[in-house]
Amino acid sequence: MTKNEPRTKDHAPGTKDQGPRTTLWSGRFDTAPDAAAFEFGASFRFDRRLFDDDVTGSLAWTRALARADVISRDDARNIEEALIEILEQGRANPDFIAGPDEDVHSFVERVLVERLGDAGRRLHTGRSRNEQVSVDLRLYLRRRIPALQQAVAALVEALALQASKAGDSLMPAYTHFRPAQPVLVAHFFLAHVAPLRRDFERLAAARAEADALPLGSGAVAGTSYTIDVEKLARDLGFSRVVANSIDASSDRDFAVSFLYACALTMVHLSRLAEDLIIFCGDEHRFFDLSDAVSTGSSMMPQKKNPDPLELVRGKSGRSIGHLVALLTAIKGLPSGYNKDLQEDKECVFDAEDTLAGSLAVVRSVVGGLTLNRERAESAASGLLLATDVADYLVGRGVPFRRAHEIVGALVRNLHGEGRDFESLSLDEWRAASALFDEDVVRRVSSRASAAAKKTPQSTAPAAVSARLAEVQGWLHGL
Q: Three-class SS of residue 62?
A: helix
Q: Indicate whether 378 belongs to the interface with ligand ARG (CB under 6 A).
A: no
Assess 58 for contact with ligand ARG (CB under 6 A).
no
Crossing angle between the packed helical segments 253-279 and 344-367, to the nearest 10 degrees: 30
Shortest gap between Cβ of 250 and ligand ARG (angstroms)?
A: 10
* Cβ contacts of 244-249, under 8 Å, gap ≥ 24: 245/216, 245/217, 245/218, 245/220, 245/221, 246/220, 246/221, 246/335, 246/336, 247/335, 248/131, 248/134, 248/214, 248/217, 249/128, 249/130, 249/131, 249/134, 249/214, 249/217, 249/219, 249/220, 249/336, 249/337
Smallest gap from Cβ 162 to ligand ARG, in A, equals 43
Q: Which stretch binds ligand ARG (CB under 6 A): 77-85, 333-341, 364-372, 435-443?
A: 333-341
Cα separation of 119 and 456, whole Å? 66
Q: Which of 119, 139, 341, 403 binds ligand ARG (CB under 6 A)?
A: 341
**Closer of 101 and 209 to ligand ARG (Cβ):** 101
Q: Which is nearer to ligand ARG, 110 or 129 (CB)?
A: 129
Contact 280, 287 (CB under 8 A): yes
Phi, then psi, of 173 in degrees rounded to 5: -100, 155
Give least dist CB 287 to ligand ARG, A.
45
Active-site residue identified among 176, 298, 425, 476:
176
Residue closer to ligand ARG (CB basis): 347 or 389: 347
CA distance 123 to 112: 9
Closer to ligand ARG by Cβ: residue 49 or 122: 49
Whether 297 is catalytic is yes
Min dist CB 251 to ligand ARG, Å, is: 12
Q: Is 131 in the site for ligand ARG (CB under 6 A)?
A: no
**Residue 24: CB minimum distance to ligand ARG, A:** 9
| One residue of 22, 62, 130, 257 binding ligand ARG per CB under 6 A | 130
Instruction: Specify whether the CB–CB gap between 237 and 329 falls below 8 A.
Output: no
Mark the segment that binds ligand ARG (CB under 6 A) among 78-86, 125-133, 207-215, 373-381. Answer: 125-133
Closer of 141 and 312 to ligand ARG (Cβ): 141
Q: At closest approach, how far in Å is the CB of 339 from ligand ARG?
A: 6
285 within 8 A of 372, measured Cβ to Cβ: yes
Residues that bind ligand ARG (rule: CB under 6 A) add up to a total of 11
Q: Which is nearer to ligand ARG, 10 or 377 (CB)?
A: 10
Cα 227 vs. chain centroid, distance in angstroms?
A: 36
Q: Is-contact 182 446, C-beta < 8 A?
A: yes
SS3 167: coil
Specify which residues 213 forms β-bridges with: 241
Evaluate the CA torsion angle 286, 291, 295, 298 in order and state its sign: positive
Q: Which stretch binds ligand ARG (CB under 6 A): 27-35, 145-153, 339-347, 411-419?
A: 339-347
* Whether the Cβ atoms of residue 289 and residue 296 lie closer than 8 Å to each other: no
Given the complex with ligand ARG, which of 220 and 451 has the nearer CB atom?
A: 220
Choosing from 337, 392, 429, 436, the residue that interacts with ligand ARG (CB under 6 A) is 337
Shortest Cβ contact with ligand ARG: which residue?
342
Residue 65 or 341: the one with the smaller Cβ distance to ligand ARG is 341
* 284 belongs to the catalytic site: no
Least distance between ligand ARG and beta carbon 33 (Å): 13
Residue in 53, 54, 103, 131 binding ligand ARG, rule: CB under 6 A: 103
Q: Which helix (H) or strand (E) holds 153?
A: helix 129-166
Kindly state whether residue 133 participates in binding ligand ARG, applying the rule CB under 6 A.
yes
Residue in 342, 364, 378, 472 binding ligand ARG, rule: CB under 6 A? 342
- Active site residue: 290, 297, 335, 423, which one? 297
Shortest distance, position 125 Cβ to ligand ARG, whole Å: 17
- Calculate the alpha carbon distances from 183 to 166, 365, 431 in Å: 12, 22, 30
129 makes contact with ligand ARG (CB under 6 A): yes
In sequence order, what DSSP letters do the residues of 200-261 get, joined into one string?
HHHHHHHHHHH-SB-TT-TTTT--SS---HHHHHHHTT-S-B-S-HHHHHH--HHHHHHHHH
Is-contact 183 237, C-beta < 8 A?
no
| Cα atoms found within 13 Å of the Cα of residue 95, Cβ hemisphere only | 0
Nearer residue to ligand ARG within complex by CB, 96 or 349: 349
Going by C-alpha positions, the residue among 327, 287, 308 that lies closest to residue 165 is 287
Write down the least CB distance from residue 64 to ligand ARG, Å. Answer: 20
Site of interaction with ligand ARG (CB under 6 A): 43, 47, 103, 129-130, 133, 337, 339, 341-342, 345
| Residues with active-site annotation | 176, 297
